[in-house]
C-alpha cells in the first residue's frame, strides 16, 4: 500500500464528512481538472471552531487530509486553526507520498478559506450591510485548467511545456506542482530540485 | 479475504506451464547463448525455439522477431529506430492521440532531433478514422504508428485499413499491439504492418520479455549498441529464461486464445450490462463491440478513481483507473481526454480486465461490492451533493 496506516484509517473512517446548511463560513478549493476539490463548512462560536464538516472529490490522500484537518481544527480558536500548515497535517498522518503532498496543501487551504469567508461575513455585518445568507464564494479556480506557474497560461494534456511563455516545465517531486525545468528550487514550495 | 484479480492490463499472472518451462533456464541451463560451448548452444537453441513460437503466433518468420525487455522498449525501438533510419527521407511522424506513453514520449524525444509529429484524434469511442491518418500524411512522413488495441478503454483500432493506406504511400507502419497479442488473433501479414510490438506479461508470460516484429529487409537503428545479439539490432545478453517463457506463452495463446476469449467476453458482457444497471450515472468508455474480449471500462460520475481503487482493493478487488490521482504525474488519462470526456468525468475512470480463471462468481461478487463502494465516496463528494441539489433532492 502506498499510504500509511493512519491515512488508510482516515480514508476508511473519515471524520466530519457532510454539509452544514447554515454554516458561518464556507471554503472551497481545487477543481476536478487537477484532480481534487474540497469544500469546508464551519460553525464559529466565541472565535472557536465549534463544528466542521467537509466534502471532498479526490484521491485517498485528499479524503484522509480533509478528515485529518477537520479533526485537528475542531475546538481550536480561529487563530490556532489558521496556524495549521500542510506540513503539520502530513506529519499527523504519518507522512504522505511525495506526489500527494499537494493534497495536504489543499486541506489546510480549504479550512483557511472557510475561516476567511467567516471573517468577511463578520466585517460586512459590522458595516451594517444586510445580514443573512451570504452565498458561498465561487471557487477561484473552478473551471480552470492546470496553469503555468510563470505566465498562468493553460497547460494542456501531455505537455510539460507552456506554449504561452515557452517555458519547459517539470513537476516538483516535493509538492507535485509545475516548476521550471533546470531551476534550483521549486517556484511553489521552494524545495531544492534534484539535479540530474 | 477473497482476492479477485481484474487487472489484466497491468499484468496477467504467469501460466504454470510457462513457469515450468522457464525454471531450468534459471537453474542448470544457465549458459550464455553467445557462447560456443555446449552450455551456450543449449541456451541458443531455447532462444531460437522461443522465436519460432512467437513467429508462429504472429504468422511471421522467425528471423522477423526481435526480443526486447518490455513493450515500452519494443515501442521505443520501433518509433526511434525506424524514424532515425530514414532521417534522410523525411522528418515527419503520424501517431494516434491515444498511443501508449512509450510511443508518444519516444516521438517527443525525436522532436528534439528535428522531427515533427502529428497526432491524429479519435472519436468518442476511441477509434481512429483511417481517413484522418491519410489526411495527416505528408511528403516528409516516414513513419505512422497506431496501436492495435487500447489498454485503457479496450477499443480495437482499424489497423489493417491504416496499414493499407501507408503501404500505398510507401510509408512504414508500426502498431503497438502489446494489449492485443495473445488475446485476440494478430497476423502481421493480414494486418500488413511493417513493425509490431508485443509483451509476454499481457498473455500469461513473465515480465521482462517482449518482442518487436520487424518485416524482413526493414532498416532500423538500434537503441542499444554493443554485441551481435538479435542480429545487432538489440545488443545485450539475452534474458533466456524470460524469453523461453514468452515462447511458451505464445504457444499456449495460439492454442487457447479462442476459448479464453469466448469465456472472458461472456463474463465481460455481463459486467458491461449489469454495472450501469446497479449504479446510476456510470458510462461505458471505449467501443461497445470493437473491444478486447477481457476488457470493461467505465467512468463513474462525481467521484475520483483512486478512492474507488482503494475502496475496491479493501474489498479484495484489484483493478485500474486512468484518473489523475492514480498517475504519478497527477494528470488525467490522455486517452479519455482525447476521446472528448470532460476532466471531472475522466477522473472517475475505472478499468476491469479479466484474466484466465475469472469466474462468473467473481463477476457476481464485484457487482455486489461495487455499489456500496461508490455510494460511500459519492456521499463525501461535493459534486454529488451539487448534483442532488440540482435534481431537487
- CATH number assigned to the domain comprising residue B281: 3.90.1150.10
pLDDT at B293: 98
Global pTM value: 0.86
Could you give the count of Cα atoms lying within 13 Å of B2 in the half-sphere of its Cβ?
10
Nearest to B380 among A17, A28, A33 (CB): A17
For all residues of chain B together, what is the average pLDDT? Answer: 95
- Domain boundary residue among B189, B223, B253? B253
- The x, y and z cell numbers of residue B269, run together, are 458482457
Q: Do A158 and B331 touch (CB under 8 A)?
A: yes
Q: Are residues B237 and B311 in the same domain?
A: no
Q: Are residues B63 and B165 in the same domain?
A: yes
pLDDT (tens digit per residue) in B27-80: 999 999 999 999 999 999 999 999 999 999 999 999 999 999 999 999 999 999
> Among this protein's residues, is B319 annotated catalytic?
no
Matching residue, cell 452565498: A135
pLDDT at A127: 75
> Among this protein's residues, is A175 annotated catalytic?
no
pLDDT at A86: 83
Q: Supply the DSSP string of B39-51, one letter for each residue.
A: HHHHHHHHHHHHH
Residue B107 has pLDDT above 80, yes or no: yes
Q: How far is CA B239 from the centre of its chain?
A: 21
- In the structure, what pLDDT confidence band is assigned to residue A154 with cuts at 50, 70 and 90? low
Return d(Cα B275, Cα B285) in angstroms, integer.
Answer: 13
pLDDT at A144: 39
Chain A CB within 8 Å of residue B306 CB:
yes
Average pLDDT over residues A50-56: 97
Tell me the chain B residues in contact with residue A171 when contact means C-beta distances shorter than 8 Å. 329-330
Return d(Cα A17, Cα A138) in angstroms, integer.
Answer: 21
pLDDT (tens digit per residue) in B277-309: 999 999 999 999 999 999 999 999 999 999 999
Contact A62, A56 (CB under 8 A): yes
Distance from CA of B209 to the nearest CA of A (A): 26
Return d(Cα B348, Cα B375) in angstroms, integer.
Answer: 13
Nearest to B325 among A12, A35, A171 (CB): A35
Nearest to A58 among B304, B337, B343 (CB): B304
Contact B350, B9 (CB under 8 A): no
Q: Are residues B197 and B313 in the same domain?
A: no
Structural domains in chain B (count): 2
Contact A150, A167 (CB under 8 A): yes
> A36: helix, coil or strand?
strand
Average pLDDT over residues B87-101: 97
* Strands A48-57, B195-199: pairing kind: unpaired
Tell me the chain A residues in contact with residue B104 when contact means C-beta distances shorter than 8 Å. 158
Residue ranges making up the domain that contains B322: 4-10+257-391
- In the structure, what pLDDT confidence band is assigned to residue A164 with cuts at 50, 70 and 90? low
Interface of B with A in 34-73 (CB under 8 A): none
- The total of other beta-carbon atoms located within 10 Å of residue B9's CB is 23
Tell me the chain A residues in contact with residue B331 when contact means C-beta distances shorter than 8 Å. 146, 157-158
Distance from CA of A99 to the nearest CA of B (A): 7
Tell me the chain B residues in contact with residue A7 when contact means C-beta distances shorter than 8 Å. none
Chain A CB within 8 Å of residue B379 CB:
yes
- Domain boundary residue among B204, B228, B253? B253
Contact A187, A149 (CB under 8 A): yes
Return d(Cα B347, Cα B281) in angstroms, integer.
Answer: 14
Q: Are residues B230 and B312 in the same domain?
A: no
Chain A CB within 8 Å of residue B303 CB:
yes
pLDDT at A160: 73
Q: For chain A, list the domains and their CATH numbers.
A: 5-126 (3.90.1010.10), 145-196 (no CATH)
Q: Which of A158-162, A171-175, B90-94, B333-337 has the lowest mean pLDDT?
A: A158-162
- The x, y and z cell numbers of residue A155, run together, are 497547460
pLDDT at A172: 76
pLDDT (tens digit per residue) in B212-270: 999 999 999 999 999 999 999 999 999 999 999 999 999 999 999 999 999 999 999 99
Does this complex have an ipTM over 0.90? no
Return d(Cα B208, Cα B242) in angstroms, integer.
Answer: 6
Q: Do A59 and B306 touch (CB under 8 A)?
A: yes
Q: Active site residue: A103, A162, A172, A186, which one?
A: A103
The domain that holds B40 is classified in CATH as 3.40.640.10
Amino acid at each position: 500500500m502506498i499510504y500509511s496506516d493512519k491515512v488508510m484509517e482516515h480514508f476508511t473512517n473519515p471524520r466530519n464528512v457532510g454539509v452544514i446548511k447554515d454554516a458561518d463560513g464556507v471554503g472551497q478549493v481545487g477543481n476536478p481538472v487537477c484532480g481534487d476539490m474540497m469544500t469546508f463548512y464551519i460553525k464559529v462560536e466565541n472565535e472557536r471552531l465549534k463544528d466542521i464538516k467537509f466534502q471532498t472529490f479526490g484521491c485517498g490522500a485528499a479524503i484522509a487530509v480533509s478528515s485529518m484537518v477537520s479533526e485537528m481544527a475542531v475546538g481550536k480558536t480561529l487563530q490556532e486553526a489558521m496556524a495549521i500548515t500542510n506540513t503539520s497535517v502530513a506529519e499527523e498522518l504519518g507522512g504522505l507520498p511525495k506526489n500527494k503532498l499537494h493534497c495536504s496543501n489543499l486541506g489546510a487551504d480549504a479550512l483557511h478559506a472557510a475561516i476567511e469567508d467567516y471573517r468577511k461575513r463578520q466585517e460586512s455585518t459590522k458595516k451594517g450591510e444586510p445580514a443573512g445568507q451570504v452565498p458561498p464564494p465561487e471557487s477561484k479556480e473552478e473551471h480552470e485548467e492546470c496553469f503555468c506557474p510563470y505566465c498562468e497560461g493553460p497547460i494542456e494534456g501531455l505537455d510539460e511545456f507552456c506554449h504561452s511563455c515557452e517555458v519547459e516545465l517539470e513537476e516538483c517531486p516535493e509538492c507535485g506542482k509545475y516548476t521550471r525545468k533546470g531551476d534550483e528550487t521549486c517556484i511553489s514550495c521552494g524545495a531544492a530540485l534534484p539535479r540530474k | 479475504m477473497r482476492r479477485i484479480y481484474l487487472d489484466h492490463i497491468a499484468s496477467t499472472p504467469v501460466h504454470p506451464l510457462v513457469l515450468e518451462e522457464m525454471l531450468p533456464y534459471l537453474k542448470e541451463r544457465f549458459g550464455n547463448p553467445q557462447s560456443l560451448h555446449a552450455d551456450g548452444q543449449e541456451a541458443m537453441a531455447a532462444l531460437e525455439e522461443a522465436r519460432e513460437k512467437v513467429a508462429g503466433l504472429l504468422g511471421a518468420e522467425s528471423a522477423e522477431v526481435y526480443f526486447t525487455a518490455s513493450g515500452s522498449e519494443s515501442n521505443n525501438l520501433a518509433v526511434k529506430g525506424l524514424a532515425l533510419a530514414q532521417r534522410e527521407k523525411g522528418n515527419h511522424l503520424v501517431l494516434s492521440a491515444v498511443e501508449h506513453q512509450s510511443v508518444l514520449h519516444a516521438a517527443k524525444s525525436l522532436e528534439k532531433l528535428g522531427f515533427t509529429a502529428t497526432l491524429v484524434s479519435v472519436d468518442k469511442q476511441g477509434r481512429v478514422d483511417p481517413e484522418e491518418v491519410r489526411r495527416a500524411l505528408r511528403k516528409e512522413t516516414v513513419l505512422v504508428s497506431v496501436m492495435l488495441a487500447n489498454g485503457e478503454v479496450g477499443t480495437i483500432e482499424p489497423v489493417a485499413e491504416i496499414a493499407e493506406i501507408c503501404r500505398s504511400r510507401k510509408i512504414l507502419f508500426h502498431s503497438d499491439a502489446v494489449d492485443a497479442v495473445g488475446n485476440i488473433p494478430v497476423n502481421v501479414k493480414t494486418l500488413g504492418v511493417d513493425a509490431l510490438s508485443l509483451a509476454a506479461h499481457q498473455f500469461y508470460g513473465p515480465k521482462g520479455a517482449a518482442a518487436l516484429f520487424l518485416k524482413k529487409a526493414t532498416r532500423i537503428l538500434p537503441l542499444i549498441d554493443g554485441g551481435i545479439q538479435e542480429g545487432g539490432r538489440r545488443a545485450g545478453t539475452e534474458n533466456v529464461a524470460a524469453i523461453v517463457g514468452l515462447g511458451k506463452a505464445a504457444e499456449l495463446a495460439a492454442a487457447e486464445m479462442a476459448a479464453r476469449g469466448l469465456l472472458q467476453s461472456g463474463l465481460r458482457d455481463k459486467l458491461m450490462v449489469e454495472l450501469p444497471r446497479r449504479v446510476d450515472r456510470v458510462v461505458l468508455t471505449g467501443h461497445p463491440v470493437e473491444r478486447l474480449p477481457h476488457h470493461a471500462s467505465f467512468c463513474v460520475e462525481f467521484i475520483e478513481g483512486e478512492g474507488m481503487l482503494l475502496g475496491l482493493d479493501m474489498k479484495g478487488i484489484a483493478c485500474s483507473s486512468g484518473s489523475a490521482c492514480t498517475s504519478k504525474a497527477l494528470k488525467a488519462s490522455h486517452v479519455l481526454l482525447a476521446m472528448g470526456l470532460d476532466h471531472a468525468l475522466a477522473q472517475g475512470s475505472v478499468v476491469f480486465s479479466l484474466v484466465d480463471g475469472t469466474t462468473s462468481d467473481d463477476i457476481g461478487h464485484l457487482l455486489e461490492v461495487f455499489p456500496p463502494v461508490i455510494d460511500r465516496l459519492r456521499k463525501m463528494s461535493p459534486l454529488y451533493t451539487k448534483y442532488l441539489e440540482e435534481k431537487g433532492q
